[in-house]
A and B are shown apart, each in its own frame.
Chain A
């Protein structure tokens, strides 16, 4: 059980009050026929209760049960567009889709807002204003590609990109075509190295753990390093972010370059993490961009109950923006509940990994 300082407790209480107020505003917006989207208005009609009257605070969202991401599969996609934004240019971002119909989420400005907020957490000495970026991650119908580009532009830079189709990568893995997988990874890294060597003054990088490894190893084979390419800051995302990997990267790959791990997906904004090095055991704790999104760590058997600080539970996400409302979505991840900290006076989650109860059990023995 964690005990917060009086000052931090006061900030945590204030953050909670802001969250409750924001919940009222967002729920009022989504369930007002003048502003809300067809999906939620129809949902309320069927549910037989008016969220605008019954939701006073964040905890009241439990009346919605749990958001089901299957609702996002298939169209019409316009049912998710709030009436107030009907005339705005709409983006659609996809998730999944290696086989079958992908899940789709609409966006207007959310990705820009989320990444602008994230930008405020980046240290200028590592991510200099005006510096150019390289986006070395999934492209195609994903939020990430546009979001990173916007981040670069928001900070006064220009973003270079490479193509990377994660659905093809997943197919290669499932088919066991490891030679093709290696060749595809080499093809992606080749493009990155070409861009980095082309005199574009790139100082900032977005990438995933596997690509950071591949890039660092390739540069080292060529007698160089990530630092020697001119990169000074890496914004990284991906599920492989264990403390061990964080340490491995810092000790063996990055050559002193600053890296900030993040946790995010198409449904939420971007959960950032305070700096963590050897002194913190390389532990990574993510805090959602509250009040626009809230991460909770809950009892897998009773999602109404948050686990104690330090306890293990399933990650539950609530997204609260005027573009998109996702109440209490049970993620396919688990982790440990972390207390508020100075930088983020609300709960966080550490040790994020696939939810063990959903992992397939081994039924065939090895010899």
Chain B
């Protein structure tokens, strides 16, 4: 069986603590993963400065080329991995086996990562607002006759990644050409770093520590800058901590203005895609559709489309649902939904499509069937719910109250031609990414920042003068 070691600044480390990863559905052994202990993380990170140093010995333009080469290798080559090798198809199968995502979704995530790597120069130019990369590398330089200086806030970026949504890797990909080292607490597998090494990125710039929560905590505690993904509790824990950029539930929404509420049928495909793609697991999936009227009709139409969707084998190209592989998680979510259904007027519109209930229990995993819930007002508890499967509430709310009632929203798609409502949406500080017009919430423009600009997180502008 293939074994994935930890990487201590590029050097493989075989732990005595081995996690045996099995296929979520069949129970078949898939891989063995060396588990780091927190002390190793703390100890290695005392040498984090070296990671940036080795990257600074490579010209940023060369690093960009390496990343582009890595894109090609990642999606086409058989890469050395652990004590074996892995083809892209094997990667897709193994990722599906360990995350519960259907294979075609893993392939889609792979293509997304390839896209980001392929376009890394454009992405960086956008995120740095076309700043000369040499200025970031050197720390200062003149541009248009103005002295500009930027200082790296850290030698390395810590990333505490979720094990069930591999697409989020795209967020860290720009850091290597920015000459910032990488410290990953990954999910069960992480072949992209191997693609980087094969493309020439110095191994000493990358550390990878598989492990449990305490390993993630060690990464956060020892990296001056980190990204973490988690639930609402994680978001609350790290809110206001300048060293941690936390990515939590998205509570992404589609907002219909008064002027478009009667045209909702034109937007039904957009709504379905926003809820369903990637099995509803992303923070950018829509979990709330807010409308001044026609809420029941919208909910019924969505239920007609989403309700019949049932679990299919992960290799089936039509599989639309990811499995819950953590024991007890799906039943707990289902029970939470049931509890919130007790409030007056709240109606699970998909219930008619699920004669055996929304929870589908298998021997080693569970599924939750797509669930659409009608909420008569924003005041019911159900209107604030979000779960990691295709779940959406359709909430009746007057346009004038909508922005104040939606709460924090990662992606809002505003369906309106009302210039005044558009301006209000643009000004709403509780909305992060804003799409005006019929753009699915899950459609990202990678040239734009996601939940904060990573360049601003890793570099700070400062005054610099040099005597001539």
Contact = CB atoms under 8 A, between A and B. Distances in A.
A289 interface: no
Contact of B332 (A242, A248, A361): A361
Question: Which has the most chain B C-beta neighbours within 10 Å: A182, A221, A363?
Answer: A363
B388 A217 contact: no
A315 B282 CA distance: 41
A362 B232 CA distance: 13
Interface string B13-26: 00111000000000
B108 interface: no
B329 interface: yes
Contact of B162 (A242, A245, A281, A367): A367
Nearest to B18: A244
A281 B18 CA distance: 13
Contact of B39 (A182, A213, A281, A367): A213
A358 interface: no
B327 interface: yes
Interface in B1-53: 15-17, 35, 37, 39-40, 42-43, 46
A366 interface: yes
Contact of A367 (B15, B217, B282, B332): B282
A243 interface: yes
Contacts of A109: none
Contacts of B17: 242-244
A248 B328 contact: no
B328 A362 contact: yes
B332 A281 contact: no
Contacts of A221: 46
Interface stretch (B113-121, B247-255, B268-276, B306-314): B247-255
Contact of B16 (A209, A253, A282, A362): A282
B333 interface: yes
Interface in A265-312: 281-282
Contact of A244 (B37, B332, B336, B387): B37
Contacts of A281: 16
A217 B43 contact: yes
B179 interface: no
B422 to A, nearest CB: 29
A367 B249 contact: yes
A247 B387 CA distance: 41
A178 interface: yes
Contacts of B324: 365
B16 A365 contact: no
B39 A366 contact: no
B350 interface: no
What is the predominant secondary structure among interface residues of chain A facing chain B?
Answer: helix
A211 B341 CA distance: 49
B231 interface: yes
B127 to A, nearest CB: 22
B237 interface: yes
A176 interface: yes
A367 B229 CA distance: 6
B283 interface: yes
A34 interface: no
Given A182-B221, A242-B17, A362-B326, A367 B37 contact: no
B393 interface: no
**What bracket does the count of chain B residues touching chain A fall in?**
35 or more
Contacts of A213: 39, 42-43
B399 interface: no
Interface residues of A, number: 25
A306 to B, nearest CB: 26
Contact of A365 (B39, B46, B247, B388): B388
A228 interface: no
A245 B41 CA distance: 12
A220 B233 CA distance: 36
A185 to B, nearest CB: 10
B351 to A, nearest CB: 22
Contacts of B328: 361-363
A13 interface: no
Interface in A338-367: 361-367
Nearest to B250: A367
Contacts of B230: 366-367
A69 interface: no
Contact of A248 (B37, B217, B220): B37
B165 interface: yes
A362 B37 contact: no
Contacts of B168: 367
A176 B35 CA distance: 24
Contacts of B247: 367
A217 B329 contact: no
B37 A242 contact: yes
B37 A363 contact: no
A182 B243 CA distance: 15
B75 interface: no
B164 interface: yes
B46 A217 contact: yes
B379 to A, nearest CB: 23
Contacts of A366: 162-165, 229-231, 234
B35 A244 contact: yes
A364 B229 contact: no
A68 interface: no
Contacts of A243: 16-17
Contacts of B336: 363
A60 interface: no
Interface string A248-264: 11001100000000000
B281 interface: yes
A362 B283 CA distance: 19
Question: Which has the most chain A C-beta neighbours within 10 Å: B16, B165, B249?
Answer: B16
A281 B16 CA distance: 8
Contacts of B46: 217, 221
A363 B39 contact: no
Contacts of A249: 39
Nearest to A221: B46
A223 B250 CA distance: 47
B233 A364 contact: yes
A338 B37 CA distance: 25
Contacts of B220: 178
A365 B282 CA distance: 11
Interface of A: 176, 178, 182, 209, 213, 217, 221, 242-245, 247-249, 252-253, 281-282, 361-367
The 9 A-B pairs at the shortest CB distance, nearest first, are namely A363-B332, A244-B17, A364-B231, A365-B388, A366-B162, A361-B328, A244-B16, A176-B237, A213-B39
Given A248-B40, A365-B164, 8 more contacts: A209-B39, A243-B16, A244-B35, A252-B39, A252-B40, A253-B39, A365-B324, A366-B162
Interface of B: 15-17, 35, 37, 39-40, 42-43, 46, 162-165, 168, 217, 220-221, 229-234, 237, 247-250, 281-283, 324, 326-329, 332-333, 336, 387-388
24 contacts: A178-B220, A213-B42, A217-B46, A242-B16, A244-B37, A252-B43, A281-B16, A282-B16, A361-B328, A361-B329, A362-B326, A362-B328, A363-B328, A363-B329, A363-B336, A364-B232, A364-B233, A365-B164, A365-B326, A366-B163, A366-B165, A367-B231, A367-B250, A367-B388
